[in-house]
């Protein structure tokens, strides 16, 4: 069956690349078409009517015309511009980290509506004064689930025995937690406290509604972040570029807060 030349979809803009003097190649994540790309012609010109609707981190209704190599964006209308996120540099850094993960862990044209909903809900849950690091941990765990890399947190990934309520190890290669007896059987392991394991289990098995009720001590938050970052780095075989900027902003914010004390 021949596909229609023109089509329309809602989409979240997750990446943009300059093309020529006035155009951009945009990467969209959509509910039905998965990740797609399109050329937005003239969008970098000051008088472009579409530029505001095709900004990074924007949820829009986008119209396309099919092309030989890349489809062309023919129209766009903002559904949600996430203005609160874009007006806060710290929240922007969180959002860019999230969208980079989606881009790295997905292939083109593979439908995953639940992942689209996860991305949309995560952007909605990035708010000032909230524990946005916890939001990121929730997103990372559920993104890995969609990508086929759900970490095993309920029993030893090697011998399948129940994990004791003590410090265990997380195996990057095996993709889950090892009991103390199996720790030496796997390379590239990270120590994981029982508090961190309980937090990861809670996030893995819950929805966003539970996040405001969770209180996390700083050492546990730091350990869980390190484990998730390490696992993601191992899977992708590279660093997430936006993570460095996020960490830099968090460090600057901490220094500013210390200076006020």
- pLDDT tens digit sequence for 154-212: 999 999 999 999 999 999 999 999 999 998 888 889 999 999 999 999 999 999 999 99
What is the reported pLDDT for 260? 62
pLDDT (average), residues 43-52: 90
The pLDDT tens digits of the residues spanning 221-248 come to 999 999 999 999 999 999 999 999 999 9
The pLDDT tens digits of the residues spanning 144-157 come to 999 999 999 999 99
pLDDT category of residue 31 using cuts at 50, 70 and 90: very high
The pLDDT tens digits of the residues spanning 3-28 come to 789 999 999 999 999 999 999 999 99
pLDDT category of residue 258 using cuts at 50, 70 and 90: low
What is the reported pLDDT for 239? 92
Q: Which residue has the higher pLDDT, 187 or 218?
A: 218
Q: What is the pTM of this model?
A: 0.94
Say whether pLDDT at 58 is over 70. yes
User: Cα–Cα distance between 261 and 247 in angstroms, integer?
Assistant: 22
> Is the CB of residue 157 less than 8 Å from the CB of residue 170?
no
For the chain, give the mean pLDDT: 94
Say whether pLDDT at 124 is over 90. yes
pLDDT category of residue 130 using cuts at 50, 70 and 90: confident
What is the reported pLDDT for 71? 95
DSSP assignment of 101-148? HHHHH--BT---HHHHHHHHHHHHH--TTS-HHHHHHHHHHHHHHHHT
Residue holding tokens 């909605």? 124
In terms of Cβ atoms closer than 10 Å to its own Cβ (0-12, 13-18, 19+), residue 11 is buried
User: Cα–Cα distance between 160 and 162 in angstroms, integer?
Assistant: 7
């Amino acid at each position: 069956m021949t596909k229609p030349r023109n089509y329309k979809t809602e989409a979240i803009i997750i990446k943009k690349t300059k093309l020529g003097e006035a155009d951009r190649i945009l990467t969209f994540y959509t509910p039905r078409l998965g990740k797609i790309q399109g050329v937005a012609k003239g969008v970098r010109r000051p008088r472009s009517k579409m530029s505001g609707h095709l900004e990074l981190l924007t949820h829009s209704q986008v119209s396309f015309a099919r092309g030989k190599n890349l489809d062309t964006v023919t129209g766009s209308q903002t559904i949600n511009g996430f203005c609160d996120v874009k007006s806060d540099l710290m929240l922007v850094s969180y959002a860019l980290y999230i969208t980079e993960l989606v881009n790295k862990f997905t292939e083109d044209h593979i439908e995953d509506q639940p992942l689209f909903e996860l991305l949309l809900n995560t952007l909605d849950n990035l708010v000032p004064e909230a524990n946005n690091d916890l939001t990121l941990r929730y997103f990372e765990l559920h993104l890995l689930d969609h990508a086929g890399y759900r970490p095993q947190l309920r029993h030893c990934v090697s011998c399948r025995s129940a994990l004791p309520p003590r410090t265990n190890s997380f195996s990057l290669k095996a993709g889950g937690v090892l009991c103390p007896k199996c720790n030496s059987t796997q390379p590239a392991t990270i120590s994981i406290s029982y508090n961190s394991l309980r937090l990861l289990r809670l996030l893995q098995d819950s929805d966003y509604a539970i996040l405001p009720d969770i209180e996390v001590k700083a050492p546990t938050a730091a350990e869980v972040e390190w484990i998730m970052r390490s696992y993601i780095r191992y899977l992708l075989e590279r660093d997430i570029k936006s993570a460095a900027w996020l960490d830099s902003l968090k460090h600057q914010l901490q220094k500013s807060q210390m200076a006020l004390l």
